[in-house]
Amino acid sequence: MTSAWRPRPELWALDPAVLHLNHGSWGAVPRAALDAAASLRAESEANPAAWFRSLPSRVAAARRELARWVGADEDGFALVPNVSAGVTVALSAVDVPAGGRIVVTSHCYGAVRFAAERFARLRGATVVEVPVPLTASADEVVELVSPAIEGADVVLLDQITSATATVFPVSSLVALCRAAGVPVIVDGAHAPGLVASPAAVGADFWTGNFHKWACAPRGTAGLVVAPEWRSRTLPPVVSWAEHAAALPDRFDWQATADYVPWLAAPASLAVLDTLAWPALLPDLVSMLDDGAAVVAAALRTSVPVLAAPAPAMRLVALPPSVRIEDKAAEEALRGRIARDARAEVNVTVHEGRGFLRLSAHAYNGARDYELLAARLPALL
Ligand SMILES: Cc1ncc(COP(=O)(O)O)c(C=O)c1O
């Protein structure tokens, strides 16, 4: 095991009796941001009317800070509650005619694919899925997706894939889409915190979660819209800001809602700064690589060799005897591991093969993976 890594679990409020190895699904909010959110919530309840009056300038300030953090043009960066909302907004803005094509890859996040299917249904269009093998190189991904760009009405790409924990070559793919005049939406759900300047890929639409790797309170995501789309891109909820001229202002007010997560999100970014994130990533990744290998050895399986693994997530193959036929089986296995191994992990499937997806954040240490390795063989 690497010795350079020093975990900082004391900065989080996570239950120490549980192995928390699924940061990628829901994130985890550090104590300092929980405190900031609690204090904002107390303020809002002390005088709701004053709270809502104070929101416009405070939301705008938080939004600008989040925009800068992901390298986005502040005039094109809007707040949304999550990437699912961001994708829904983007798909609502693009023209897909009857008979048109919405292109996705076989790594597309399930719920985002549902969004593509809903819009295809509404418009009499079809979703075209490009199969991309698990271990495809960047060049192979580009080669496989390129032919589908011609004739597409919109292309939906993952920046970091969910089930397969892979970094996709989005810059090259976005450039191809732009050259072909085909609008491209980038699902950057995992990118803030894991990719440098993730919003700067030049897509027509980019959306990313701050409540994953940036550890913001849940309900905090960004949508970056290229200049030519800004006037026609409308918020997920129709409310008083509907006719605001500037895109970010239109999204700042989403009716009576909980704005605390957006205002507390900068406190999470401050924690990452004190941890020297992202400079610490190489040591974290090396610890995760070792940990994933220990788990794979215990299961007598392997860590698939991916061309571009996501920095802080690793797949470990499940033994062939473990059959994951459907979503319910995925959920059942997650639940069994949570109950019997006291471990939170993700279970994913790609091309019919089942994997554990193990995450690492600043609170994880080598011991987490060693304990998982010790507990899993008895129950798989
Ligand atoms: C690649 C990808 N896209 C979209 C989402 C959806 O994120 P949210 O539930 O925050 O909308 C996720 C969530 O894990 C994801 O991994």
Alpha-carbon distance of 191 to 160, in angstroms, equals 6
pLDDT in tens, 157-167: 999 999 999 99
Ligand 1 geometric centre to CA of 43 (Å): 31
Shared-domain flag, residues 171 and 91: yes
Shared-domain flag, residues 311 and 268: no
Contact 171, 199 (CB under 8 A): no
Shared-domain flag, residues 263 and 286: no
CB distance 189 to ligand 1 below 6 Å = yes
Q: CA dihedral defined by 292, 293, 297, 301, rounded to 10 degrees?
A: 70
Among 209, 220, 223, 327, name the best residue to mutate to test ligand 1's pocket (greatest count of ligand atoms within 8 A of Cβ). Answer: 209
Shared-domain flag, residues 247 and 221: yes
Among 29, 80, 84, 89, name the best residue to mutate to test ligand 1's pocket (greatest count of ligand atoms within 8 A of Cβ). Answer: 84
Shared-domain flag, residues 236 and 366: no
CB distance 135 to ligand 1 below 6 Å = no
- Count of domains in the chain? 2
Residue of 189, 221, 207 whose CA lies nearest to 63: 221
| Angle, vertex CA 161, rays to CA 225 and CA 25, nearest 5 | 95
Q: Please check whether residue 339 lies inside any domain of the structure.
A: yes
Shared-domain flag, residues 210 and 349: no
Contact 215, 361 (CB under 8 A): yes
CB distance 213 to ligand 1 below 6 Å = no
Alpha-carbon distance of 269 to 278, in angstroms, equals 11
Q: pLDDT of the chain along its 380 residues, tens only? A: 446 899 999 999 999 999 999 999 999 999 999 999 999 999 999 999 999 999 999 999 999 999 999 999 999 999 999 999 999 999 999 999 999 999 999 999 999 999 999 999 999 999 999 999 999 999 999 999 999 999 999 999 999 999 999 999 999 999 999 999 999 999 999 999 999 999 989 999 999 999 999 999 999 999 999 999 999 999 999 999 999 999 999 999 999 999 999 999 999 999 999 999 999 999 999 999 999 999 999 999 999 999 999 999 999 999 999 999 999 999 999 999 999 999 999 999 999 999 999 999 999 999 999 999 999 999 99
Q: Please check whether residue 1 lies inside any domain of the structure.
A: no
Ligand 1 geometric centre to CA of 212 (Å): 9
Shared-domain flag, residues 115 and 242: yes
Alpha-carbon distance of 52 to 62, in angstroms, equals 15
Q: In this structure, what are the phi and psi dihedrals at residue 300, rounded to the nearest 5 degrees?
A: 60, 40
Q: Which atom of ligand 1 is nearest to the CA of 187?
A: 3
Shared-domain flag, residues 104 and 175: yes
| Order of strands, sheet of 126-130, starting from the edge strand that comes earlier in the sequence | 77-80, 221-225, 205-209, 184-187, 154-158, 101-105, 126-130
Question: Which residue shows structure tokens 């976005």?
Answer: 174
CATH number at residue 104: 3.40.640.10
Which of 272, 306, 331 terminates a domain? The answer is 272
Q: Please check whether residue 380 lies inside any domain of the structure.
A: no
* Number of Cβ atoms within 10 Å of the Cβ of 318: 21
Shared-domain flag, residues 123 and 135: yes
CB distance 303 to ligand 1 below 6 Å = no
Alpha-carbon distance of 60 to 98, in angstroms, equals 38
Residue of 69, 24, 6 whose CA lies nearest to 314: 24
Which of 246, 272, 298 terminates a domain? The answer is 272
CATH number at residue 337: 3.90.1150.10
Shared-domain flag, residues 192 and 87: yes
Shared-domain flag, residues 341 and 195: no
Shared-domain flag, residues 241 and 316: no
CB distance 162 to ligand 1 below 6 Å = yes
CB distance 364 to ligand 1 below 6 Å = no
Alpha-carbon distance of 267 to 142, in angstroms, equals 38
- Domain ranges, residue 351: 9-30+277-375
* pLDDT of 8: 98
CB distance 284 to ligand 1 below 6 Å = no
Q: Which atom of ligand 1 is nearest to the CA of 161?
A: 1
Alpha-carbon distance of 345 to 212, in angstroms, equals 15
Q: Please check whether residue 2 lies inside any domain of the structure.
A: no
CB distance 84 to ligand 1 below 6 Å = yes
Measuring from atom 12 of ligand 1, which residue has the nearest CA? 189
